[in-house]
Amino acid sequence: MKLSITLLLICMLPFEVLSLICQQCISSGITQCTQTTCPDQCLSATVSVSSNVNVNLQTCGTSSLCVNESLNVGIMDIATNVQCCNTDLCNTGTLAAPPQQSPNGKSCVTCDNNGCSGTVNCVGDQTFCISASVQQGNNGVYMKGCATKSACDASAGVSSQQGVALVNVQCCAGNLCNSAEIFTLSFLLIIVPLICTIVFHSVD
Tell me, what DSSP letter sits at residue 196? H
Tell me: the pLDDT tens digits for 109-161? 998 877 888 899 999 999 999 988 777 777 777 789 999 988 888 777 665 55
CA geometry: angle at 24 spanning 22 and 27, to 5°? 135
* 5 residue type, one letter: I
Tell me: the pLDDT tens digits for 158-200? 655 556 667 778 899 989 998 755 444 334 434 445 555 555 4
Sorted by where each starts, the structural domains of the chain and their CATH numbers stand as 19-99 (2.10.60.10), 101-179 (2.10.60.10)
* Burial letters 45-68, b for 16+ CB under 10 A, else e: bbbbbeeeebbbbbbbbeeebbeb
Tell me, what DSSP letter sits at residue 40? S
Tell me, what DSSP letter sits at residue 126? -
Instruction: Please report, in angstroms and rounded to a whole number, the separation of the first and last CA atoms in the chain.
Output: 44
